[in-house]
C-alpha cells in the first residue's frame, strides 16, 4: 500500500488524480467540488466553542460533545489526508400554497432524504477512486458524522457562510446540500477560500419572525423555527416560537427565501428532490390522525422522519391553535 500511495507523491500525479476526481464527482451529479488538506479547523473551532458557550445549540447536546473531534477530520478517520467537498443543488421550482388547513414543509425535505442521495453519490465516488487507486481508503460523510460541513465548503471555495449561517454559492444560492469524502491520499489542494459576498445586506436578519438571527452570522437555536419543529423534543413548542410559526410545520425557509443570492436559483436535475405527494405542504388534520404505522409508511426515506410522529403532531397542534387564536 505504501508503494502504491508513493506513486502519487509527485505534484503532477496528485494534480492529475485530483482533476479526475473532480471530473468524476461532477459526472455523478454533484454541482460543485473542491479538495482541501485534512487539517484542523482552528478558527472555526473557536467560533463553535463561543456558540456553544452562549447556549445557542439548545437541546442538541451532541453539538457540545468534543469540539476538537468536530474540527479535526483526522479524529474521524485517522489516516485522512484530504477532504473532497461537494455541493448538490436541490432547488425545485414549486411554491407553498396559502391554505391555513395545511402546514408548510421546508424545501430541503420535499423529496427523498438527502442523506441517502448525497451519501449514495459519495460512495459511488469512493468506489471509483478505489478502482483507480486500489490503495485508497475513504469515508463518506453527510451531516451525521461530526464534521463542520459549511466550514469545509468555505475552505474548498464552494461558497461562503451568509449572515443566516447557511452556505451561499454564487451559482445556486443557498439551496445546496453538502458532503465530504475523507481520503488517505495526498492530492492537489484548492487554496483559495470563498470570500463573503453578503455586503451590507441584512434582509435575513430582519425577516426572521422570532429574532433567531441574533446578529450577523449567529443563530440562537432556542428561537429558531427549524430547530423547534425538527430537533426540539419538548411536548410543546415554547410560546415565543409557537406564536410566530407563520404556517411552518417542519423547518423554515424564510431567511433563505428573502436572500438576494437565491435569485440565481436553478432547478436541479436530481429528480429525487422533486416533492413527494403532500410534502410541499401537509394537511394538518390528516397528520393528527396518523398512526405510527401510517407515519412510517408515508415518510419512509424522507428527512421528515427526523421530527418523529409526536413532533409532527405537536407542530400541527401549534399551527391549529394559531389559527384559532387569529
Which residues are part of the catalytic machinery? 143
CA Rg value for the chain: 21
The side-by-side arrangement of strands in the sheet containing 176-183 is 32-37, 82-89, 176-183, 138-141
Q: What span, in angstroms and rounded, lies between the C-alpha atoms of 170 and 301?
A: 30
Q: What span, in angstroms and rounded, lies between the C-alpha atoms of 26 and 125?
A: 10
The 3-state DSSP composition of the chain as helix, strand, coil percent (nearest 5) reads 45, 15, 45
Nearest to 179 by CA among 255, 113, 88, 287: 88
The 3-state DSSP class for residue 101 equals coil
Give just the sign of the alpha carbon dihedral 308, 309, 313, 319.
positive
Amino acid at each position: 500500500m505504501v508503494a502504491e500511495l508513493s506513486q502519487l507523491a509527485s505534484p503532477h500525479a496528485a494534480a492529475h488524480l485530483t482533476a479526475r476526481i473532480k471530473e468524476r464527482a461532477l459526472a455523478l451529479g454533484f454541482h460543485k467540488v473542491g479538495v482541501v488538506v485534512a487539517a484542523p479547523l482552528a478558527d472555526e473551532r473557536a467560533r463553535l466553542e463561543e456558540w456553544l458557550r452562549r447556549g445557542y445549540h439548545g437541546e442538541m447536546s451532541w453539538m457540545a460533545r468534543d469540539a476538537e473531534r468536530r474540527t479535526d477530520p483526522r479524529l474521524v478517520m485517522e489516516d485522512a489526508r484530504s477532504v473532497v467537498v461537494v455541493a448538490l443543488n436541490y432547488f425545485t421550482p414549486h411554491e407553498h400554497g396559502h391554505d391555513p388547513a395545511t402546514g408548510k414543509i421546508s424545501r430541503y425535505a420535499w423529496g427523498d432524504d438527502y442523506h441517502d442521495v448525497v451519501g449514495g453519490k459519495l460512495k459511488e465516488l469512493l468506489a471509483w477512486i478505489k478502482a483507480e487507486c486500489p490503495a485508497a481508503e475513504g469515508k463518506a460523510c453527510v451531516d451525521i458524522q461530526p464534521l463542520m460541513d459549511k466550514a469545509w465548503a468555505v475552505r474548498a471555495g464552494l461558497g461562503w457562510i451568509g449572515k443566516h449561517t447557511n452556505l451561499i454559492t454564487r451559482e445556486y444560492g443557498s439551496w445546496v446540500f453538502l458532503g465530504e469524502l475523507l481520503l488517505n491520499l495526498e492530492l492537489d489542494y484548492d487554496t483559495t477560500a470563498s470570500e463573503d459576498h453578503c455586503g451590507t445586506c441584512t434582509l435575513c436578519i430582519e425577516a426572521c419572525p422570532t429574532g433567531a438571527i441574533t446578529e450577523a452570522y449567529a443563530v440562537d437555536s432556542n428561537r429558531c423555527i427549524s430547530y423547534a419543529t425538527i430537533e426540539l423534543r419538548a411536548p410543546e413548542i415554547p410560546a415565543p416560537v409557537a406564536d410566530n410559526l407563520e404556517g411552518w410545520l417542519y423547518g423554515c425557509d424564510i431567511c433563505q427565501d428573502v436572500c438576494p443570492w437565491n435569485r440565481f436559483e436553478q432547478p436541479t436535475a436530481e429528480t429525487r428532490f422533486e416533492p413527494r405527494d403532500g410534502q410541499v405542504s401537509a394537511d394538518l388534520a390528516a397528520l393528527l390522525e396518523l398512526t405510527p404505522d401510517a407515519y412510517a409508511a408515508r415518510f419512509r426515506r424522507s428527512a421528515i422522519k427526523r421530527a418523529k410522529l409526536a413532533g409532527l403532531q405537536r407542530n400541527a397542534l401549534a399551527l391549529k391553535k394559531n389559527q384559532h387564536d387569529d
